[in-house]
Amino acid sequence: MNELRGANYTEVTEFILVGLSHQPESQIILFCILLHLYLGTIVGNILIIMVVWKEPRLHTPMYFFLCNLSFIDLCSTTTVVPLALVNCLRDCPTITYNECFAQMTIILFWGTTECCLLAIMAYDRFVAISNPLRYTLIMTMRTCFQIAGTMWISNFLLALIPVVTIPVRFCAGHNIVNHFVCELEAVFKLICSNTTVSEILMWINSIFVLPLPFLFILLSYVRIAVAVLKIPSTAGRWKAFSTCGSHLTVVTIYYGTIISIYLKPQNKDSKDQDKIIGIFYGTVIPMMNPLIYTLRNKDVIGALRKAAGRTKQHGAAET
């Protein structure tokens, strides 16, 4: 029996990415939308990083973590969108075996890191509101670098676990990935060998990167709400809670999208919708994050205006 099963295994050298190849008109529309979103994401996040780096007033823990978020958004979008754009213009897009597994690892890494970073940012806001006088002593830049370094290293190792443990045996002809990119779940369905160990490891891994950070964020905001209610003046309460507005908006959009993708009932009609939601999840949210933090943050707006004023003065001087 094992010999017969072994005869059905084949060495897969490449995968075919379906995307919306069966809907050519939709692919062109998707290409135009993705291109504009990608350019907006690149410009917005680079602008945030440059403004924080140039403006001394923004050299604080909150903006340090915001730069980390912008960097993650830049890299995660670049991991997915350029390939998706190219595949929109191809009739039968393919990706090599090694490239596919590398992309899965990188996508997982950026996703898990962003989940943890949002939790860290919630903790930063909790410390700032509950212990304003000791905030600079608790959240020193050295501490921030240590937290960030631990986050990057641990999430890289977490991202490797489900990919490294995936059996590399596929059935003959099972190399068609029903997605725009090498999404872990889509590739996992193509494996023919026993995946029990991998499924258990993926389940354990998912607990660390989704429910735990989300619960930590909820707990942080409960404690933030308690701290805010203790402030005697209404103006003081509003000022304290307004510093969390941007982060709370980002968390709501981020986790709301994840829940809509993974917790809704699956059927045949939802497959294309899930693919489109997934690709927009990787482009719209990274583009919105800089807008949310810019439009709701007076310090960032002021720094942007200051930078724009310097640019105008420099241009006038050259003229």
What does the DSSP assignment read for 219-274?
Answer: HHHHHHHHHHHT-SSHHHHHHHHHTTHHHHHHHHHHHHHHHHHHSSPP-TTHHHHH
pLDDT, greater one: 165 or 211: 211
pLDDT of residue 1: 36
Tallying the residues shown for the chain, one arrives at 319
The pTM score is 0.85
95 in helix, strand or coil? strand
pLDDT of residue 4: 39
Q: For residues 150-171, give the mean pLDDT.
A: 78
Does the structure show a pLDDT above 60 at 293?
yes
Does the structure show a pLDDT above 70 at 272?
no
Lowest-confidence pick of 31-40, 91-100, 148-157: 91-100
Q: Which of 12-16, 104-108, 140-144, 164-168 has the highest mean pLDDT?
A: 140-144
Residue of 282, 64, 102 lying closest to 180 (CA atoms): 282
- Which CATH code for domain 12-318? 1.20.1070.10
Greatest Cα pair distance, the chain, in angstroms, is 82
For the chain, give the percent of residues with pLDDT over 90.
22
Amino acid at 249: T
Helix, strand, coil content of the chain in percent (nearest 5): 75, 5, 20
14 in helix, strand or coil? strand
171 in helix, strand or coil? strand
CA distance 47 to 291: 11
pLDDT tens per residue across span 217-256: 999 999 998 988 888 888 878 877 778 888 888 888 888 8
Instruction: Categorise residue 170: left if φ over 0, alpha if ψ from -120 to 50, beta otherwise.
Output: beta
DSSP H or E stretch at residue 303: helix 298-318
pLDDT, greater one: 3 or 273: 273
pLDDT, greater one: 194 or 132: 132
Spell out the domain ranges in the chain.
12-318
Residue 191 DSSP code: B
Does the structure show a pLDDT above 50 at 119?
yes
Lowest-confidence pick of 54-63, 237-246, 273-282: 273-282
